[in-house]
């Protein structure tokens, strides 16, 4: 059962203007933000690009490529971070003078992940320089294949390195051992944006632009989208980048593709927040890479034609609907598989179904991880034509570093895993179908060994009770404007005891409630999505909720968005 636990303040707030609500001050304090300067998300406070290791070599090579008019190929990735990073690279390098420039995205079912040897072999005509985005740190074979064809390679990535690095011509990655960049949370799109900033400075020194340097700020909407969608921690530096991008969008200055995707997601640009990027825009872009070809997503982000962008967005929206239907079917099958799972059964859960789609298994793993609160790996055949090989996607729980766990298995049973990579909370791998039973047993064994029993208790952290009379439109507006909220800087979540004064079903699965606060008699409108299971809500309940704004026909009112309810 989910356990509610209140966040503790990490210090005493001080120096805040009277206009900043005391509740918001306490929310900030629980996230380690104690004074106004820690939420001054101005671009001037962004970390310097010169702090990133490998930058000098990468910039020198790119400057040479632009000066001598080389053919440059941007090698992206098939998720939202990779797509936005590719668009940033193409748009940015064009602004900085690159003329013979193209991009390519691997097909996950044909080329596998990243700069693989198969992906390099597909590049026709042969470029003189490959610049990777959001991949490459593990592409030992792919870089070697490129260099064998006489191609120079710059790797830009943010993923954790393995034991061996590719022998590329330059690499920019804040997560390399010994790299001095203070923030390790940059997304792939952020690394590329930093490279462009450094390249612009270098070219300016060389007199490439005359008096006026090209403006790279129009790329910040793409940087914000990729950063939020990739679920990297929103540390101060990432919040600076995301807030700058959101401000451009709210002012109507987003690129045509993002504007069209926001419209397809039925969101408003003027009130857009980080969660809209994560839940409405990112999934529509990601769907192309999961089910079809992410080149469609990149094309949407690169076009400046509003009508064309809308056509692309409509296609992406249709693919996303297909993805949702497929995901629902696969999750239902996975839930049947784990229906009888008891506390002494598998701690590390591995699932495989021959009919599953390799592009959607990550979403299945995520849903099952949330339900079971155990690390989950979901597998599918590598492709319709290749059932002898499996691709798996992993999702973990706090305290269990999933990539390190895969490294332990790889060290103990060499050859069992063919390839793997990722982060603490998410990773991917491939193996032979015949080896799946052996891997499933090894994964469970490592999970039992490394996960402390108390970690298996699902915990939802809240910011405590909202005081009587505090659930106002004014506070809701302050909370919405105070972000950007996201990974490692979570949306404010409160928990209170209420009486259910009324309820009804919206659609088939959503609840609308009127909640009576016994402390002051106030009645609050509330909504909870995908929560109705045929049973009425308890007459007295404790709930964890966000204080949000309901905008109906131009009239704004405060509303409680319920995330969890339990009988009180």
- Give the model confidence (pLDDT) of 208-228 as tens digits: 998 789 999 999 999 999 999
Instruction: Let me know: does 13 contact 28? Beta carbons within 8 Å.
Output: yes
Whether residues 230 and 85 fall in one domain: yes
Token code pair at residue 450: 């490394």
- Round to whole Å and give the CA distance between 469 and 475: 10
Q: Are 120 and 149 in contact (CB under 8 A)?
A: yes
Looking at the fold, whether 66 and 85 belong to one and the same domain comes out as: yes
For 219-276, where are the E strands, in sequence order? none
Give me 289's structure tokens. 């890479």
- Residue 490 within any structural domain of the chain: yes
Long-range contacts of residues 327-333, Cβ cutoff 8 Å, at least 24 apart: 327/360, 327/363, 327/364, 327/367, 330/356, 330/357, 330/360, 330/361, 330/363, 330/364, 331/363, 331/364, 331/367, 331/368
176 and 98 both lie in a single domain: yes
In a domain? residue 243: yes
Query: Do residues 65 and 170 both lie within one domain?
Result: yes
338's tokens: 């784990």
For residues 387 and 432, what is the distance between their CA atoms, to the nearest angstrom?
A: 9
450 within a domain of the structure (yes/no): no
Domain ends where: 415, 433, 451?
A: 433
Q: Any idea what the CATH number is for the domain that residue 312 is in?
A: 3.90.1640.30
Final residue in a domain of this structure, among 282, 316, 350? 316
Q: Range of 87's domain?
A: 45-316
Residue 129 forms part of a structural domain: yes
**Model pTM score:** 0.93
Distance (Å, rounded) from C-alpha 483 to C-alpha 139?
36
In a domain, 448, yes or no: no
Do 57 and 34 belong together in one domain?
A: no
Q: Looking at the structure, do residues 32 and 60 belong to the same domain, yes or no?
A: no
Residues 61, 202 share a domain: yes
The total number of structural domains in the chain stands at: 3
Domain-embedded: residue 531: yes
Are 374 and 485 members of one domain?
no
- The confidence score (pLDDT) of residue 422 equals 82
Question: Is the separation of the CB atoms in 313 and 267 below 8 Å?
Answer: no
Same domain, 21 and 68: no
Which tens digit of pLDDT belongs to each residue from 317-361?
Answer: 999 999 999 999 999 999 999 987 776 688 999 999 999 999 999
Q: Note whether residue 455 is domain-resident.
A: no
How many Å apart are CA 203 and CA 174, to the nearest integer? Answer: 23
Closest CA to 213 of 309, 96, 308, 130: 96
Examine the domain organization and report whether 182 and 308 are in the same domain: yes
Q: Return per-residue pLDDT of the chain as tens, 568 residues.
A: 789 999 999 999 999 999 999 999 999 999 999 999 999 999 999 999 999 999 999 999 999 999 999 999 999 999 999 999 999 999 999 999 999 999 999 988 888 889 999 999 999 999 999 999 999 999 999 999 999 999 999 999 999 898 899 999 999 999 999 999 999 999 999 999 999 999 999 999 999 998 789 999 999 999 999 999 998 999 999 999 999 999 999 999 999 999 999 999 999 999 999 999 999 999 999 999 998 889 999 999 999 999 999 999 999 999 999 999 999 999 999 999 998 777 668 899 999 999 999 999 999 999 999 999 999 999 999 988 899 999 999 999 999 999 999 999 999 999 999 988 888 889 999 999 999 999 999 999 999 999 998 899 999 999 999 999 999 999 999 999 998 999 999 999 999 999 999 999 998 899 999 999 999 999 999 999 989 988 999 999 999 999 999 988 778 999 999 999 999 9
CATH code at position 424: 3.10.310.30
Residues 158, 286, single domain; the answer is yes
Q: Can you tell me the distance from the alpha carbon of 564 to that of 439, in angstroms, rounded to the nearest whole number?
A: 35
Token code pair at residue 553: 């026909």
Say yes or no: 193 and 67 in one domain.
yes
* 365 within some domain: yes
Reduce the secondary structure of 306-347 to three states and give it as a string.
Answer: HHHHHHHHHHHHHHHHHHHHHHHHHHHHHHHHCCCCCCCCCC
Looking up residue 477, the CATH number of its domain turns out to be: 2.40.50.460
Q: State the angle between helix axes of 80-95 and 282-291 in degrees (0 to 180), rounded to the nearest 10.
A: 100
């Amino acid at each position: 059962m989910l356990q509610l636990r209140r966040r503790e303040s990490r210090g005493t707030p001080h120096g805040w203007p009277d206009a900043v609500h005391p509740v918001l001050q306490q929310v900030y304090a629980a996230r380690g933000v104690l004074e106004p300067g820690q939420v001054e998300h101005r671009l001037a406070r962004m970390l310097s690009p010169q702090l990133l290791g490998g930058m000098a070599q990468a910039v020198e090579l790119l400057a040479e490529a632009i000066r001598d008019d080389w053919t440059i190929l941007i090698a992206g990735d098939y998720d939202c971070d990779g797509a936005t990073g590719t668009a940033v690279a193409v748009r940015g390098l064009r602004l900085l003078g690159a003329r013979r420039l193209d991009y390519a995205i691997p097909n996950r079912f044909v080329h596998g992940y990243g700069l693989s040897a198969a992906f390099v072999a597909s590049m026709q005509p042969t470029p003189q320089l490959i610049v990777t985005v959001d991949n490459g740190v593990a592409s030992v074979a792919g870089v070697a294949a490129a260099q064998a064809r006489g191609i120079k390679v710059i790797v830009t990535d943010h993923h954790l390195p393995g034991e061996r690095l590719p022998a590329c011509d330059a690499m920019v990655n804040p997560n390399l051992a010994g790299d001095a960049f203070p923030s390790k949370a940059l997304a792939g799109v952020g690394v590329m944006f930093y490279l462009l900033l450094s390249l612009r400075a270098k070219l300016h020194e060389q007199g490439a632009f005359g008096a006026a340097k090209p403006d790279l700020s129009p790329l910040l909407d793409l940087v914000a989208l990729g950063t939020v969608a990739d679920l990297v921690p929103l540390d101060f530096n990432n919040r600076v980048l995301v807030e700058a991008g959101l401000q451009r969008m709210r002012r109507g200055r987003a690129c045509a593709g993002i504007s069209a995707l926001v419209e397809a997601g039925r969101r408003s640009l003027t009130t857009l927040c980080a969660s809209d990027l994560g839940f409405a825009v990112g999934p529509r872009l990601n769907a192309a890479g999961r089910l079809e070809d992410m080149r469609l997503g990149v094309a949407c982000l690169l076009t400046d034609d509003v009508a064309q962008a809308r056509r692309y967005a409509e296609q992406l929206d249709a693919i996303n609907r297909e993805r949702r239907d497929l995901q629902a079917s696969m999750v239902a099958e996975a839930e049947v598989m784990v229906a009888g799972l008891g506390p002494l059964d598998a701690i590390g859960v591995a699932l495989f179904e021959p009919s599953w789609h390799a592009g959607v298994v990550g979403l299945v793993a995520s849903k099952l991880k949330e339900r079971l609160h155990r690390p989950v790996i979901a597998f599918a055949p590598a492709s319709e034509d290749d059932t002898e090989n499996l691709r798996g996607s992993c999702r973990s729980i706090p305290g269990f570093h999933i990539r390190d766990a895969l490294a332990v298995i790889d060290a103990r049973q060499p050859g069992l895993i063919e390839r793997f990579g990722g982060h603490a909370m998410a990773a991917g791998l491939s193996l032979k179908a015949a080896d799946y039973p052996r891997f499933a047993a090894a994964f469970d064994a490592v999970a039992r060994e490394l996960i402390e029993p108390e970690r298996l208790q699902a915990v939802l952290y809240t910011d405590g009770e909202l005081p009587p009379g505090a659930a106002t439109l004014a506070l809701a507006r302050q909370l919405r404007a105070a972000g950007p909220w996201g990974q490692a800087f979570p949306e404010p979540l409160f928990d209170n005891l209420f009486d259910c004064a009324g309820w009804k079903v919206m659609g088939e699965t959503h609840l609308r409630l009127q909640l009576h606060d016994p402390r002051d008699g106030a009645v609050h409108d509330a909504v909870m999505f995908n929560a109705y299971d045929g049973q009425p809500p308890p007459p007295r309940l404790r709930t964890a909720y966000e204080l949000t704004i309901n905008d109906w026909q131009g009239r704004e009112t405060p509303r409680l968005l319920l995330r969890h309810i339990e009988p009180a």
